[in-house]
Chains A and B, each alone.
Chain A
Amino acid sequence: MTLFLLTAFCGIAQNSVDLDEIRRLVLFFETAPDSQFTPQQQTLLYESLIAKLSNASEKVALLGHRETVIPGDDQIKTAVAERIGADSWLYVAIGGDFETAYLEARCLDLLNGIIAFELDLEKETIRGTRELGLLFWHEVQDEVRSYFERALNIENTTGDLTFQAVPGTRIRGLGRKRLKTEENGAATAQVPLPSTTRFRATRPGYWPVEGQIYMDQPEKTVILEQAPGSRASLDFYLNNCNFPGFDFNFFLLPDMAFVRAGILTYLFGFILEDDESDFFVSYTLSRFNLGGGFFLNAPDRFFRPYFAAGAFLRIITARGYWGLEPISPFGIQPIIGFEYSRQPRYKLFFEYAPVAYWTGDLDSTLLFLLSLPANNDFSGYLPLNWCVINLANFKLGLRIRL
């Protein structure tokens, strides 16, 4: 579709008129499909209309707008008008032929939210082309003049837009003020009539709802279908790209705040860098983790950062002994992470998760360091009197919402 915007800023602001008082009217002009006008006649009709409207009032500036297809719906006309900076629109359609023409006109004032006028006329062109300039658009010109001369004095018309949603839902997009639904789930805002309003409704625990509403009635109620967020998810990950782990997350607040339990096992893993070592390695140690965290933004965002923290037990499952690891039986782990995906169910996640191993005393701290495998350096480890902190630890994995 070829779209061109013809801007005919024909309104000449007189010195006596305050510029703030000049209204901007966009014209949607079309000929009926069954009309019998030649292209030259159509051009003549359009340009004569432009000339008449431009001189209709010093309080209105005309914005010409021509498309191969004129928006059929008033809501879309309003949206187009808003997009090009107009505060009112005039729709004019003519049919018939050059001798007997049918004219339909409808003007909508976006600022006041009312239909300024409507015309439906049958016109006979007795004096041919000359009459176009003098009489054909006379009624339209008069209506435009009379309305916009007084338009600024009309009291704004608004309607009550009511949202029905889960109590506590916050709704943005209705001006500067944010709405919040009451205990009965309702929240009402006054919006201009007619108008198109975009909104975003959020409620922790529910998926956000976004949309737009065309308000053309004094009262309107919109019921928001808010889907609850996920209650649980499963994490499958590799710790430091070596050893597998698994977490079950239960969302206390769906898709926002969670507690988790899981296991990181060293019973099997693999190392990538050392050519001389075995690819697969195994240690009779596992970590049982408990923790919790919360996301920092809404669940419909592709990129979701979060904070979490947890504690863990180190469990030995060796032959002859199943129990707590005696040198550092437990520790804590703060986590900064994010998940990313365009799919709501499957997410990739990355967590930077330094580990603080509790040792209790300096002797155990030294024993802990001696526990490191041979040829493993100490980089990333920070030994303290009562604990050892491993700063170089991360998780990379897949999160599946259940």
Chain B
Amino acid sequence: MKRNITRALLASLALIPLFSCRLPPYDEGLSLGIQTAREMVALGAENLTVGPIWSWDFHYMDREVYFIPNKGNSLDEFKSGFIAAVDERSFELSYVEYVPDYFNLYKDWGTGITNQNPKTLNFHAETIKGDLCLGFTRFNSDNYTTNRYILLAGPPSGLIDWQVIEYNLRDKINLEAFGGDPTKNPTVIGSSIWPRPYSDNYDDQVFFCRLAGSGRYAEVRYDTDPSSGLKTPPNFIREDIEFIFPDDFENAFYYHDGNTNISFLSYYSNTQRKYKNYSWETALPLLKPLIDMDRRINAVLTTRQLLSFEDNRCYVYDEQGKEQFDFLLGGLHFCYEIELDLYGTPVSYLVFTLPARLGMWDAEDELYFKVYLLPTDLLEELK
């Protein structure tokens, strides 16, 4: 009897390898994000599904994967856009185009870039009106491709050096915008896209803040062209912004609101171990510290509310840096805000990535994205 029991025990233990190594059915980003996504749908947000997308390199699922919808004026147009796969060392950009009931994946539009220093990555990519994408990162790139829509920049620390992947355009920008030798890397603090309302006839604009001399910085504006990306030459807004950056600053954010001509700057101070935030008006370029705000500015809305994404939440501040409310973000990715004819009011794009697993519904892996369009004034309802 005892022998039988012992055998039964050993047999049970022998089954362990069959069951072991079961990871929990849980994805923090998905679980947290779906909570807010459900609330957005309850508030009437438009809810689009992009996919299924096949033939994508699922090797990249180890990375953070974003869908960056095109800036169109119809729901179908939002189903096309860029897929960015980002990790500590590199990112991959592909383009997916929606035709009714079908998704075409264009890898030709994609590019892979290797980052030499994992601490310096600060990926930012945004489409511009006209379905093109402009990306900004803090990279040391060792890979020059011919994609003309990707802008890369960044030394390991300190000021951001500017480079443009598309060779001719890079030379032009170096020469025209920064007046420098193409072989030299001019220094850029940050860059941002100012989306224009879809109803007007103007294209989006790209702003840069770059070093103009010792203790002096310049703000530069590029207009965009739906067919070619950046239009040159650039326009200088001001060249006499006086400010002394500490040597240890990192992870800078710069935004210029073309409507109000107010700029925002955010960076991390390694010495003080916190983010420092400033704003200034173009007409009076004296940097005003936003002393109540110690999180990074990650986005600026048309209402001049400042968004900060930290610890799975989105914190919303007013333009003076006073915290107003926050809501759960999780794996939702705030893409951008745009004014659409469709709504007649600024709309925030939030995107979810839903990677399907191998063999789940088909022999092939599939990729899904959920795109939520929520009128910006309803963000407060998510708190």
B327 to chain A, nearest CB (A): 10
Max chain B C-beta neighbours (<10 A), residue from A327, A340, A388, A392: A327
Pick out which of these stretches binds chain B: A73-81, A118-126, A130-138, A278-286: A278-286
Is B42 part of the binding interface, using a Cβ–Cβ cutoff of 8 Å? Answer: no
A284 touches B28 (CB 8 A): yes
Q: Which residues of B contact A (CB under 8 A)?
A: 2, 5, 9, 12-13, 15-16, 18-28, 30-32, 34-35, 38, 61-62, 310-313, 328-330, 354-360
Residue of A273, A377, A390, A394 near B25 (CB, 8 A) is A390
Q: Which residues of A contact B (CB under 8 A)?
A: 240-243, 266, 271-274, 281, 283-285, 302-303, 314, 316, 318-321, 325-328, 340, 350, 357, 367-374, 376-378, 380-381, 388, 390, 392-394, 396
By Cβ-Cβ distance, the 3 closest A-B pairs, closest first, are A320-B312, A319-B311, A320-B311
B25 touches A372 (CB 8 A): yes
Which residues in B have their C-beta under 8 angstroms from that of A368? 25
A371 touches B359 (CB 8 A): no
Alpha-carbon distance A314/B47, docked complex (angstroms): 27
A316 touches B28 (CB 8 A): yes
Which residues in A have their C-beta under 8 angstroms from that of B26? 266, 283, 285, 314, 325, 371
Which residues in B have their C-beta under 8 angstroms from that of A302? 2, 5
Which residues in A have their C-beta under 8 angstroms from that of B31? 285, 316, 325-327, 371
Which residues in A have their C-beta under 8 angstroms from that of B16? 241, 394, 396
Q: Enumerate 25 A-B pairs (CB-CB under 8 Å) in ascending A order.
A: A240-B21, A241-B21, A271-B23, A273-B20, A283-B24, A285-B31, A303-B5, A318-B32, A319-B312, A320-B310, A321-B328, A325-B31, A327-B31, A327-B34, A328-B25, A350-B13, A368-B25, A370-B354, A371-B26, A371-B31, A374-B61, A376-B23, A378-B360, A393-B22, A396-B13
Asked whether A241 and B20 contact (CB < 8 A) given A319-B312, A327-B31, the answer is yes
B49 to chain A, nearest CB (A): 11
Which residues in A have their C-beta under 8 angstroms from that of B354? 367, 370
A373 touches B27 (CB 8 A): yes
B310 to chain A, nearest CB (A): 8
- B interface majority secondary structure: mixed
B21 touches A370 (CB 8 A): no
Which of chain A's residues has its CB closest to B61's CB? Answer: A374
A321 touches B312 (CB 8 A): yes
Which residues in B have their C-beta under 8 angstroms from that of A303? 5
B23 touches A373 (CB 8 A): yes
With A241-B21, A378-B360, A380-B22 known, 11 other A-B pairs at CB within 8 A are A240-B19, A240-B22, A273-B20, A283-B24, A283-B28, A285-B24, A318-B28, A327-B34, A340-B9, A374-B61, A374-B357
A320 touches B21 (CB 8 A): no
Residue of A243, A318, A394 near B312 (CB, 8 A) is A318
A357 touches B21 (CB 8 A): no
B312 touches A242 (CB 8 A): no
Which residues in B have their C-beta under 8 angstroms from that of A369? 25, 357, 360
A327 to chain B, nearest CB (A): 6
Which of chain B's residues has its CB closest to A270's CB? Answer: B21
Which residues in A have their C-beta under 8 angstroms from that of B356? 370
Max chain A C-beta neighbours (<10 A), residue from B24, B38, B360: B24
B5 touches A326 (CB 8 A): no
A75 to chain B, nearest CB (A): 29
Which residues in B have their C-beta under 8 angstroms from that of A319? 311-312
B325 to chain A, nearest CB (A): 14
Alpha-carbon distance A271/B26, docked complex (angstroms): 16
B357 touches A392 (CB 8 A): no
Residue of B15, B22, B30, B38 near A371 (CB, 8 A) is B30
B38 touches A240 (CB 8 A): no
Alpha-carbon distance A374/B12, docked complex (angstroms): 29
Which of chain A's residues has its CB closest to B32's CB? Answer: A321
Which residues in A have their C-beta under 8 angstroms from that of B21? 240-242, 271-274
Alpha-carbon distance A303/B6, docked complex (angstroms): 10
B20 touches A243 (CB 8 A): no
Alpha-carbon distance A320/B23, docked complex (angstroms): 23
Asked whether A371 and B360 contact (CB < 8 A) given A272-B20, A327-B34, the answer is no
Residue of A327, A340, A378, A393 near B30 (CB, 8 A) is A327
Asked whether A374 and B28 contact (CB < 8 A) given A242-B20, A320-B311, A327-B34, the answer is no
Which residues in B have their C-beta under 8 angstroms from that of A370? 27, 30, 354-357
Which of chain B's residues has its CB closest to A284's CB? Answer: B28
A376 touches B34 (CB 8 A): no
Which of chain B's residues has its CB closest to A394's CB? Answer: B19
B25 to chain A, nearest CB (A): 5
B25 touches A392 (CB 8 A): no
Which residues in A have their C-beta under 8 angstroms from that of B25? 328, 357, 368-369, 371-372, 381, 388, 390
Alpha-carbon distance A316/B329, docked complex (angstroms): 14
Residue of A274, A281, A377 near B359 (CB, 8 A) is A377
B353 to chain A, nearest CB (A): 10
Residue of B2, B9, B35, B62 near A374 (CB, 8 A) is B62
Residue of A240, A274, A372, A390 near B357 (CB, 8 A) is A372
Asked whether A316 and B32 contact (CB < 8 A) given A240-B22, A242-B20, A392-B19, the answer is yes
Which residues in A have their C-beta under 8 angstroms from that of B12? 350
A383 to chain B, nearest CB (A): 10
B32 touches A374 (CB 8 A): no
Alpha-carbon distance A340/B2, docked complex (angstroms): 11
Which residues in B have their C-beta under 8 angstroms from that of A394? 15-16, 19
Which residues in A have their C-beta under 8 angstroms from that of B34? 326-327, 367
Asked whether A392 and B358 contact (CB < 8 A) given A283-B28, A326-B31, A371-B26, the answer is no
A320 touches B28 (CB 8 A): no
Which residues in B have their C-beta under 8 angstroms from that of A373? 23-24, 27
Which of chain B's residues has its CB closest to A301's CB? Answer: B5
